[in-house]
Structure 1
Amino acid sequence: MHRRNSRRTALVLSAAALAATPFLTACGNEAHPGAAAVVGGQRITVSQLDARVTEVRDAQQAATRGDAQYSQAVAQSGPLTRSTLNAMVRTRVLHRAATDAGVTVTRAETQAKRAEYEKQVGGAEQLKAAFLQQFNIPPQRLTEAMRSEVEAGKLIEAIGADPQTPQGQAAFAKALADASKELGVSLNPRYGTWDAKGNKATDARVPWLNQVTKQAPTQPA
């Protein structure tokens, strides 16, 4: 049951991202100099965000051969700074929603999810390459990504949502929106404003969390 619901999570997350009328939080960070975002009173600093972006760029460079391939990888990753911040905030929102629902994730569950994906794509290296290419997740962040996926699947179960139905999608979207509003997400204006109902930064690319549970990553050619 958990595995089936986990793979369906993306349907619900996509519905949350496409929710209708935005509910915008305050966007100013004048009281938090150097912050890219403030989530639940905790800062995501610009330097932390830059470090995350650098991790992706370094991984892309290590995985490509020559300047031409690297340039292509950079182009395919889109507006990386904004989408990376979007993912960092959404991960915290998901964690709050899961915590509010009494959800916990063990290391064993995270490892099992990773092993499941590795088996589907043909090995550990293939999984690292797939997540880097498809979701801009560098190898050192893969365990975090697996944990968030397990957390999302267990949250769906905890709130009794069926991601195959509009009602289930709405219930999951509400859980994320409630957590987002509870945390009081605030972005530095240079990165947009936070849409609590849609659980995303406005004008930001939909990040990996919308897609990762739709299916296992395809094996890179």
Structure 2
Amino acid sequence: MHRRRRTALILSAAIVAAAPLLTACGSEAHPGAAAVVGGQRITVAQLESRVNEVRAAQRAATKDDAQYEQAIAKTGSLTRDTLHGMVLDRVLDRAAKDAGVSITRKDTQQMRTALEQQAGGSKALQTAWLQQYGVAPSRLDESLRTEIEAQKLAAALGVDMNTNEGKATFWKAMSASSRKLGVDLNPRYGAWDVQKSSRVDAKTPWLREVTTATQQPA
């Protein structure tokens, strides 16, 4: 179980860690939007709802306030990471469609069944995905679909994701999709590096991320 990782999440996390800080390039032309991808808004309300789902799941999975606070501390960048994932999923969808990739409900169910067997049951899998990837149980199938989509895209491109060359080809396709869609991030959440198809932190130290979890009592 622990050897399996979401392709998009792991690769994007590595890119974020290695990418230099960029000046925020998002605009304020879309009030209430956390990001605009392909002309479609990801609203701040939608982003906060996703974050709240994870926080609620973390609260339900912990025994006391101390454990909950530890969970929050480990996912301090949850809001930005969640937005990164929401944007990246749309970029991946576009890249997959361009490559003629399609995903069925059967694909997702087969992967879920296999992972549940490895993890020791549905509850164990949900807990693992929550702890490792910040995915709420209600979003597990959606997350698995993304994993399958990334794997199928790699297959369609004829690349081996275990090699640097394969990863480079995969992310070149993702970069092309980012460019076609025109990703525009609200500066408070950073900036989008089209070349690397990844969110990066902008040089805006006066902006402080305040998640719903820290605003509301546990």
TM-score interval for Structure 1 and Structure 2 normalised by the shorter chain: 0.7 to 0.9
Is residue 35 from structure 1 mapped to residue 33 from structure 2 by the alignment? yes
Match of 1:181 among 179, 182, 194: 179
Q: Which runs of 5+ in 1 are unaligned?
A: 1-5, 205-221
Counterparts in 2 of 1:79-158, with a 5 A limit? 79-158=77-156
Please give the alpha-carbon distance, in whole angstroms, between the structure 2 residues aligned to 1:173 and 1:136.
23
**Shift in CA distance, 52/15, structure 1 to aligned 2, threshold 3 Å:** closer
SS at match of 1:38: strand
**Shift in CA distance, 21/191, structure 1 to aligned 2, threshold 3 Å:** closer
Is the Cα contact below 8 Å between 1:35 and 1:188 reproduced in 2? yes
Tell me whether 74-83 or 157-166 shows the greater mean CA deviation: 157-166
Structure 1 counterpart of 2:67, one-letter code = Q
SS at match of 1:28: coil
Give the RMSD, CA atoms, in angstroms: 2.7
TM-score (norm 2): 0.83
> How many residues in Structure 1 have an aligned counterpart in Structure 2?
199
Match of 1:61 among 59, 62, 70: 59
Following TM superposition, the consecutive aligned residue runs of length 4 or more in structure 1 with deviations greater than 6 angstroms are 18-22
Structure 1 counterpart of 2:49, one-letter code = A
Is the Cα contact below 8 Å between 2:34 and 2:42 reproduced in 1? yes
TM-score (norm 1): 0.82
Please give the alpha-carbon distance, in whole angstroms, between the structure 1 residues aligned to 2:115 and 2:72.
25
- Offset of residue 15 of structure 1: 9.3
- Offset of residue 27 of structure 1: 2.6
Structure 2 counterpart of 1:156, one-letter code = A
**Relative contact order, higher structure (CA 8 A, sep 6+):** 1
- Offset of residue 197 of structure 1: 1.9
SS at match of 1:33: coil
Is the Cα contact below 8 Å between 1:25 and 1:185 reproduced in 2? no
- Offset of residue 198 of structure 1: 1.9
Is the Cα contact below 8 Å between 2:62 and 2:68 reproduced in 1? yes
Aligned to 2:74: 76
Structure 2 counterpart of 1:55, one-letter code = E
- Offset of residue 78 of structure 1: 2.3
Q: Which runs of 5+ in 2 are unaligned?
A: 203-218
Share of identical aligned residues, percent? Answer: 60
Is residue 52 from structure 1 mapped to residue 50 from structure 2 by the alignment? yes
Please give the alpha-carbon distance, in whole angstroms, between the structure 2 residues aligned to 1:42 and 1:62.
33
Structure 2 counterpart of 1:127, one-letter code = L
SS at match of 2:41: strand
Structure 1 counterpart of 2:120, one-letter code = G
Structure 1 counterpart of 2:149, one-letter code = E
